[in-house]
Amino acid sequence: MKRLVFPETAVGAGVPFLRSLLVEFPTSSEDMGFFYDFLAILILLLVLVDADNNSIRNGAEGYCNYKRSLNPRPHSVTITEFGAVGDGKTLNTVAFQNAVFYLRSFADKGGAQLYVPKGKWLTGSFNLISHLTLFLEKDAIIVGSQDSSQWPIVEPLPSYGQGQDLPGQRHRDNGTIDGQGLIWWEWLNSQTLNYSRPHILELVNSIDIVVSNLTFLNSPAWSIHPVYCSKVEIQNIIIHASFDSPFTNGIVPDSCSNLCIEDSSIEVGHDAIAIKSGWDNYGITFSTPSTDIHIRKVHLQTPLGSALAFGSEMSGGISLVYVEHLYIGNSLTGINFKTAPGRGGFIKNIVISSLEMENVHNAFWFTGNSSRHPDEQYDPDALPVIQQITLKNVVGTNIFTAGFFSGIENDPFTGICLSNITLSITSDLPFSWSCSNVSGYSESVFPSPCSDLTSNSSLFCFSLEDFSTLSDA
């Protein structure tokens, strides 16, 4: 059984598998440990609900230690009762829409389950509702329509002002299958896109989400994109896209709070995990930071991108991020902080600990020159604040360069702290580190970093103990 879990206050999105899948909107708990298959067929159901802004902070322990619970649904119907045919050819969009509409009547009766038996169920876009469990039996496959006209066009997100690929509207992805992304990649590379590409799973203004034991293959753009969400758990996930797929990100927390990513494996063409919070003046105006994020026990690989990235769209702010126990292999960049004049916002109070890197070209890359803008309306005097970033307990083998730290003139990156880091460097460059407009502290770092990172004492460094202090403030 596979699960994508939402509670009573959320509407959800689901991804089907070659084996059974449970998409649930729960209120109490049961065990969610199941082995997941690598091969999968994918479907998107967009999430749009009112979010609860209440947050749960867990201090230095991290949000991944907060667990939620499920209850079974007392009512159940089968998709065939609404005329669906599982032959892989019949379009079942109306059947799914009618089934969900009917199940609304059970919202105040403990909720209901929509059961999908063995078969291939072709469908266009449909949304789920609160108090609903979508259950796919073993060998039940929901197949998204490959007709691009079935993908609705929606407005850009308010914190971005335009689509990521093109100005204007964007596609909402109602379904993809393994290899479906190739069409979108070709359109992007040939500059024949009409609108920005869709994501496999986009959760918008939702609260109390669990995405667990699923595989996402070959997304047109981003695989999992929670935006303006709170209390989100992403666990036991496999994400895979061809390494030459253009700008395919794995998980992109975007203006979210209280979020956990753990026990997962991500291999994509661009950034494996990228934390964001809006773009230039749109993100500044929307003013919703990504905060209280916990990432642990994740394998990351991206030969053309960054394993873990912050930004470059970070204008609403990013803070209180705790990352631990990552394995980063065969990647262009290990840890990447990206910003630019015009972004405004901040990235601060970050701890990244216990990393193992292998075959990584750039271990650490901090830049203030990631200067793509949505339009000409940005304010070049809106300077970002990058401060109190701690990197510690890192071992790297077969690393080409150790670190590139390039802040912004008259707006340096400060409080960059390095400790207990050992990198085996393979390049013949005279210096393994490059620094400008940056200051910080280092201890037990090999090879020795540039002098800019030895100019302060450890009192300037952010630590795990500071999480509790700021969380309780």
- In the listed set 219, 237, 255, which residue is the last one of a domain according to the structure? 237
Of 327, 331, 466, nearest to 388 by C-alpha is 466
Q: Is 266 among the domain residues?
A: no
Structural domain that includes position 181? 1-237
Co-location of 219 and 357 in the same domain: no
- In the listed set 213, 237, 261, which residue is the last one of a domain according to the structure? 237
Co-location of 314 and 199 in the same domain: no
Instruction: Dig out the tokens for 351 from the structure.
Output: 């701890």
Do the beta carbons of residue 397 and residue 361 sit within 8 Å? no
Of 173, 171, 178, 198, nearest to 242 by C-alpha is 178
Strand partners, 240: 217, 267
State the chain's mean pLDDT as an integer: 81
Q: Is 285 among the domain residues?
A: yes
CATH number, domain at 218? 2.160.20
Q: Is 245 among the domain residues?
A: no
Q: Quick one: pLDDT at residue 166? A: 59
Domain count, the chain: 2
Co-location of 218 and 315 in the same domain: no
Q: Is 249 among the domain residues?
A: no
Q: Is 255 among the domain residues?
A: no
Q: Is 312 among the domain residues?
A: yes
Instruction: Dig out the tokens for 449 from the structure.
Output: 């970093």
Co-location of 79 and 184 in the same domain: yes
Instruction: Dig out the tokens for 342 from the structure.
Output: 């015009």
SS (H, E, C) the chain: CCEEECCCCCCCCCCCECCCEEEECCCCCCCCCCCCCCCECCCCCCEECCCCCCCCCCHHHCHHHCCCCCCCCCEEEEHHHHCCCCEEEEECHHHHHHHHHHHHHHHHHCCEEEEECCEEEEECCCCCCCCEEEEECCCEEEEECCCHHHCCEECCCCCCCCCCCCCCCEECCCCCCCCCHHHHHHHHHCCCCCCECCCCEEEECCEEEEEEEEEEECCCCCCEEEECCEEEEEEEEEEECCCCCCCCCCECCECCEEEEEEEEEEECCCCCEEEECCCHHHHHHHCCCEEEEEEEEEEEECCCCEEEEECCCCCCCEEEEEEEEEEEEEEEEEEEEECCCCCCCEEEEEEEEEEEEEEEEEEEEEECCCCCCCCCCCCCCCCCEEEEEEEEEEEEEEEEEEEEEECECCECEEEEEEEEEEEEECCCCCCCEEEECEEEEEEEEECCCCHHHHCCCHHHCCCHHHHHHHHCC
Co-location of 197 and 132 in the same domain: yes
Co-location of 450 and 361 in the same domain: yes
Co-location of 15 and 140 in the same domain: yes
Low-confidence ranges of the chain (pLDDT < 50): 1-59, 170-179
> What's the predicted TM-score (pTM) here?
0.82
CATH number, domain at 388? 2.160.20.10
Co-location of 211 and 292 in the same domain: no
Co-location of 363 and 405 in the same domain: yes
Co-location of 319 and 226 in the same domain: no
Strand partners, 24: 5
Q: Is 448 among the domain residues?
A: yes
Q: What distance in Å separates the CA atoms of residue 279 and residue 275, rounded to the nearest whole number?
A: 12
Co-location of 53 and 138 in the same domain: yes
What is the phi/psi pair of residue 402, to 5°?
-75, -55
Residues with Cβ within 8 Å of residue 306, at least 6 apart in sequence: 270, 271, 272, 274, 331, 332, 333, 334, 335, 336, 365
Co-location of 393 and 285 in the same domain: yes
Q: Quick one: pLDDT at residue 150? A: 54
Q: Is 261 among the domain residues?
A: no
- In the listed set 212, 237, 262, which residue is the last one of a domain according to the structure? 237
Q: Quick one: pLDDT at residue 222? A: 92
